Amino acid sequence: MATATLEPDVDQSALFEFLLRIGDNALILGHRVSEWCGHAPALEEDIALANTALDLIGQTQLWLGLAGEVEGEGRSADNLAYLRDGFEFRNILLVERPNGDYGKTLMRQFLFDAWHYLLLKALKGSAEKRIADIAEKTFKEVSYHLNRSRDLVIRLGDGSAESHRRMQEALDDLWPYTGEMFVGDTIDAALAGAGIIPAPQSLKIGWDEIVADALSESTLVKPADGYMHKGGRRGVHTEHLGYILSELQFLQRAYPGAVW
């Protein structure tokens, strides 16, 4: 049943790996966004951020749920979220960056949303039906996230002198973490070859365009493409992830076997 819709020549472990990557991105970014709860600069922002976090946690349930199914070892989405250690996490480094000020949080969201939007748009046409179904379900949410983060980046970039300065600083700071989104490996190649996912490199042109448009409207200057950090997609993270996991997983680790 679990593999009924899969083509026999598709490597199950590659598929599992991809599902962890996309699920972990949603989980870790959802976690970061939820840290703002009650502390946002306006009540409307508190509400909007909670909404974004809620969407991302819902997406985590779908992706990691499917990951467990594909793996076929009886692990649930919760097992995967709560009982893996840092080296087993596959999110990109960008989403584990600390929130910083509100401008940095919004910029991180925008850079991610633009990519997430393109990825899901492509995944709607995935040859693997269960992936296409989840992409279909979540694409609308992510389109909304992108509209919102894009709009705020533009308004704050082209706002006051201080908001401009902060947004530029956020952009410069986060830019070296954007390259990881577009670097493929053998897992990507296998899945892209089977028509299951888009090749990561193929999303770069669209992303560049979305980002360039927004940046020109925002009067912000696109940083030069220098050194790009990477590692998250193969389990090599920054020191921040360990702290995220120690909070996220506290109860499951402290009370093994308890049902909540």
Chain residues binding other proteins by CB under 8 A are: 27, 31, 34-35, 37-47, 50-51, 53-54, 57-58, 60-61, 64, 77-78, 81-82, 101-103, 155-156, 158-160, 162-164, 166, 247-248, 250-252, 255, 257-260
Least gap, CB of 49 to other proteins (angstroms): 9
Q: Which of 155, 51, 60 is nearest to 116 (CA)?
A: 60
Q: How far is CA 100 from CA 94, 119, 243, in A?
A: 13, 26, 15
Least gap, CB of 256 to other proteins (angstroms): 9
Question: Which residue, 81 or 211, is less far from other proteins as judged by CB?
Answer: 81
From the number of C-beta atoms within 10 Å of its C-beta (0-12, 13-18, 19+), residue 255 rates as exposed
Question: Which residue, 50 or 183, is less far from other proteins as judged by CB?
Answer: 50
Least gap, CB of 167 to other proteins (angstroms): 8
Question: Which residue, 160 or 186, is less far from other proteins as judged by CB?
Answer: 160
Least gap, CB of 158 to other proteins (angstroms): 6
Contacts of 219 by beta carbon, 8 Å cutoff, 6+ apart = 157, 158, 164
Q: What is the DSSP string of 152-181?
A: HHHHHHTS-HHHHHHHHHHHHHHGGGSGGG
Q: Report the alpha-carbon distance of residue 135 to residue 182 in Å, rounded.
A: 19
Q: Which of 221, 225, 239 is nearest to 169 (CA)?
A: 221
Least gap, CB of 12 to other proteins (angstroms): 23
Least gap, CB of 30 to other proteins (angstroms): 8
Q: Report the alpha-carbon distance of residue 200 to residue 183 in Å, rounded.
A: 6
Question: Which residue, 1 or 258, is less far from other proteins as judged by CB?
Answer: 258
Question: Which residue, 92 or 106, is less far from other proteins as judged by CB?
Answer: 106
Q: How far is CA 131 from CA 78, 105, 115, 203, in A?
A: 19, 28, 17, 18
Question: Which residue, 119 or 244, is less far from other proteins as judged by CB?
Answer: 244
Q: Report the alpha-carbon distance of residue 69 to residue 75 in Å, rounded.
A: 7
